[in-house]
Structure 1
Amino acid sequence: MEARLAAAESRNRLNNRVAVAVALISAFMAVTKIKDDNIVQAMLQAKSDAVDTWNEYQAKKLKLHLSELGLNQARALRLAVPPQGAAALAEQENGYAATIARYQAESETIMKKAKGFEKQYDDLNFRDDQFDLSDALLSISLAILAVTALTANLWLFRFSLVFAGFGGVMGMAGLMGLSLHPDWLTKLLS
């Protein structure tokens, strides 16, 4: 009889530990999920800004190319027109040259801006990976805890804590902006 009471008490203690672990893990997952969602929104904005900026860059390069064509045509026409028309073409050439210089400078600035948005996206993706790994590891831990509650195996509880610990570390790395990132694992899962 005492053995049954001791076994029931032991099982009850283990179930209490499981319940506390589930509550703590779930609360931590809720906090990291909010941060992860905000990062995903920022990633979408950065990607949108990068695409828009690259489109602007392409438009400037197209305008640059058209101005270069115009300049070349004006130079070719100047050779074929009388001297009084050559002055007008020279003025047009100067306008094209100024436009070309402006588009070249603007293109460089826009390209740097677009690359900045791409870097911002990559940096955010790095942190998103941390939260994704945290979520996956903590979910595995919760699944093991569910089996632990059914089977009352202490070793399963301890095994779940390994996953919870690594998931917690990855979540904290994401929250604190640390550079912890198991590349081999993220490449395997992506």
Structure 2
Amino acid sequence: MARCADAVVPDVVRWVESAAGPLIAVPEAVLPFWAGADGDETSSDHDRACDLPGHAGLLPVGDTLALVLGGEPAATAYLPEHGLFVRRCAAGDEPRLLSEARLIAEVPAALDDAVWEPALEWRVPGPLVLFDAARSGRAATATDHARVELAPGRYGVGAGYVPRGPWAGLRLVRVGPPAG
């Protein structure tokens, strides 16, 4: 399921996975500043990402912020048509997940059923790279990653989950216009 996003192929959803911790979406402009699990400090960048509460949080990287997708490790894809990170989690005792095609087709209904946390405001300098937070930014594009095209600007970030139904194994993180 995990694929690298070196080539852009229309209509192909790229899923990124983590070995054990959170995923992070770092603006390309500051990728070299993300040290991952390495570092000379007592707390690595990866440790800082793991310490963020909730399913979505913002963390300083360089002179901007990166989006941490926390909670349990989950295969994650960005769906630009919805401005949404979709995270496939195990649904309780049910190990079977929806097929990728059905999951994508069911996203609009899942959005209607989702329970949303309060939104954060995020100023984005441009495109992002989504990858395992344990990796360094310098190594991110040499491993499992996805490039997320976002125009520079202000965005609202809201995390949600679907409490029931066939989408109960989904965590959602919406990136869109900021609230009022």
**TM-score interval, smaller chain:** under 0.3
**Which protein is richer in helix relative to its size?**
1
TM-score scaled to structure 2, two decimals?
0.23
**Which protein is richer in strand relative to its size?**
2
TM-score scaled to structure 1, two decimals?
0.22
Q: Based on CA coordinates, which of the two structures has the bigger radius of gyration?
A: 1
